């Protein structure tokens, strides 16, 4: 199975795991999904993540994400949205980076300085492709 949009796959698996109230979710590993997981950990949206080496039951490496819930079992993530899609890319300059929920959420932007949050990109004065928004 070839994957045309690994980011959409990442977000969908995360969304499905949250809806099913799973503790962990496994996602095919790539450099980009690793950076995504790192940003989500920094932002406090997920508990942690780790790399699972390729085994007998799966071909490539996997990223295992520990989801974060509140005391009353509500997820730390209430919404995920893919912004720039393979069919319709969305690029912005530093000044146009949108704020998600008035700064409560996070934009994830792919810049020439690597993948970073919209806040960091704005601070660094670099624009790029808005990959996703999380709130």
Tokens of 55: 């085994």
Cα separation of 33 and 42, whole Å? 14
> Where does CATH 3.30.1490.10 sit in the chain?
80-134
Residue 27 pairs with which residues in a beta bridge? Answer: 63
What confidence score (pLDDT) does residue 122 get? Answer: 97
What confidence score (pLDDT) does residue 61 get? Answer: 94
Give 18-32 as a 3 state SS string: HHCCCCEEEEECCHH
Buried/exposed 41-77: b ≥16 CB within 10 Å, e otherwise: bebebbeebeeeeeeeeeeeebbebebbeeeeeebbb
Domain 6-67 fold: Ribosomal Protein S8; Chain: A, domain 1 (3.30.1370)
What confidence score (pLDDT) does residue 24 get? Answer: 96
Distances in Å between the Cα of 121 and the Cα atoms of 11, 79, 110 are 21, 21, 9
Whole-model pTM?
A: 0.88
Name the phi and psi angles at 6, rounded to 5. -60, -30
Distances in Å between the Cα of 30 and the Cα atoms of 22, 52, 126 are 22, 12, 24
> Where does CATH 3.30.1370.30 sit in the chain?
6-67
What confidence score (pLDDT) does residue 58 get? Answer: 83
Tens of each residue's pLDDT in the chain, 135 residues: 557 899 999 999 999 999 999 999 999 999 999 999 999 999 999 999 999 998 888 889 999 999 999 888 889 999 999 999 999 999 999 999 999 999 899 999 999 999 999 999 999 999 999 999 999
Q: Is the domain 80-134 a CATH 3.30.1490.10 member?
A: yes
Cα separation of 85 and 131, whole Å? 8
């Amino acid at each position: 199975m070839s994957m045309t949009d690994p980011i959409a796959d990442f977000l969908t698996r995360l969304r499905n795991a949250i809806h099913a109230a799973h503790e962990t979710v496994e996602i095919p590993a790539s450099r980009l999904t690793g950076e995504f997981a790192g940003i989500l950990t920094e932002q406090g949206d997920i508990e942690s993540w780790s790399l699972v080496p390729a085994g007998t039951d799966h071909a490539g490496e996997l990223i295992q994400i520990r989801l974060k819930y509140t005391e009353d079992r509500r997820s730390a993530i209430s919404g995920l949205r893919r912004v720039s899609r393979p069919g319709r890319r969305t690029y912005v300059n530093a000044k146009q980076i949108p704020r998600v929920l008035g700064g409560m959420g996070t934009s994830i932007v792919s810049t020439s300085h690597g993948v970073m949050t919209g806040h960091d990109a704005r601070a660094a004065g670099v624009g790029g492709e808005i990959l996703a928004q999380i709130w």
